[in-house]
Amino acid sequence: MKRSLAILLTLMLVVGLFAGCTPKQQTTTEGGNTPAETKPVEKRVMRIGIGLNEDHPQFKGLEKFKEELNKKVDTIDVQLFANSALGDDRAMMEGLQLGTQEGTCPSTAPIGNFVEEFKVFDFPYLFPDEASADKVLDGEIGQELLDSLSAKGMKGLVYWENGFRNLTNRQVEVRKPEDMKGLKVRTMENPIHLAAFRAFGANPTPMAFGELFTALQQKTVDGQENPIATIYYNKFYEVQGYTTLTKHLYSPFVFMISQKFWDESTPEEQEAIMEAAKIARDHERQLNREANETLSKELEANGMKVIELTPEEQQAFQTKAQAIYGEFAQGKIAEYLDRVQKELAK
Ligand code: TK8
């Protein structure tokens, strides 16, 4: 259903392109009642898509972005699309490159397929808490990585938060890596995540987020991993019995627009976009942290068992994960990993 909608939208966009309706010319006008001498404001359309739904803090952040941007400039018409309506994270980034959409906010994990250095954020148990993540992401290292996206046709604006990821599954009360033996776990499309789950003893399989709920429902996979907010707002409790608070990975989002849209913006628009993106970031992070703090109870109220790990139990997962660092910490990724670790030790 979602997929056919995505195909339909893609077709419409392609037809639009052939009809000579390129994104630059794809403008809307406002002010039909303006006096003849006043030129109506020509608006450029900024279509922003995400995989999560309208209830998630990420969507609330986008609404905030839209509101703030509208306060500052009246030349950009922000249109928001939730639920993978424009495609999954990878397809939407390709859409930015192709010019078929203007904005998205993917997890960093699939970005590593475009700019390798982003994989530095895929090492499990790298960040001990949100404050440490903010320090690195909002600092020099984070900025360098955002800048590296420009060469790929994407303008990285700022980092938002997906959050610490936790394991859910249908049938097993997981407390230690051994409990995951043979468990079919969906991960994002990222080699380090796959290796980590193999190291835990699971049987991981990569899949786009838009297909996940159905896959869990149809038992194609037994489990998945995501922050509490996503587990709750996507109603995974309807198809999953257990959440284990593994907190195995801090997952950032990158709020990005197409480099083309950015380059075609005036300096005033660029400043407004950047400011609105930052205000929205702070709003999104705050809502997301509240959600991740408070929604465990709601998962339980909806029939899930939420398993908190002792520090020793968590250490067992961390030790397994540590074993894969060497294999993936190579070349530029190793350099970034080293810098991140030094920054965290300061
Ligand atoms: C949504 C994804 C999602 C991510 C995943 O587009 O795929 O599991 O955590 O939230 O970015």
Would you say 231 and 212 are in contact if contact means Cβ atoms under 8 Å apart? no
**What pLDDT is stored for residue 94 in this prediction?**
98
Indicate which residue's Cα is closest to atom 4 of ligand 1.
Answer: 107
The reply to whether ligand 1 has any atom less than 6 angstroms from the CB of 50 is yes
Residue nearest to atom 5 of ligand 1 (CA): 209
* Atom 11 of ligand 1, residue of closest alpha carbon: 107
CA distance 102 to 305: 40
Ranges of the chain whose pLDDT falls below 70: 1-37
243 C-alpha to ligand 1 centroid (Å): 17
- From the CB of 225, is ligand 1 less than 6 Å away? no
**pLDDT of the residue at 124:** 98
Q: Which atom of ligand 1 is nearest to the CA of 84?
A: 6
Q: Check residue 312 and give its pLDDT.
A: 97
- Which ligand 1 atom sits closest to the C-alpha of 106? 11
The pLDDT score that the predictor gives to residue 39 is 72
Q: What distance lies between CA 202 and its chain's CA centroid?
A: 23
pLDDT in the model for residue 41: 79
Pocket test for ligand 1, best of 230, 232, 233, 255 (most atoms within 8 A of CB): 230
pLDDT number for residue 42: 87
| Minimal-distance CA residue to ligand 1 atom 9 | 226
Structure tokens at 282: 């702070």
**Alpha carbon distance 322, 217 (integer Å):** 32
How far apart (Å, rounded) are the C-alpha atoms in residues 122 and 137? 13
Q: What is the DSSP secondary-structure string of 217-263?
A: HTTSSSEEEE-HHHHHHTTGGGT--EEEEEEEEEEEEEEEEEHHHHH
Say if ligand 1 is within 6 A of residue 51 CB. yes
Q: Does ligand 1 come within 6 angstroms of the Cβ of 209? A: yes
How much distance in Å is there from the Cα of 31 to the middle of ligand 1?
Answer: 38
* 165 Cα nearest atom in ligand 1: 9
205-237 residue pLDDT tens: 999 999 999 999 999 999 999 999 999 999 999
Kindly indicate whether the domain formed by 44-345 is annotated with CATH number 3.40.190.170.
yes
User: Which atom, in ligand 1's list, is nearest to the CA of 88?
Assistant: 6
Tell me, in angstroms, the distance from the centre of ligand 1 to residue 106's CA: 7
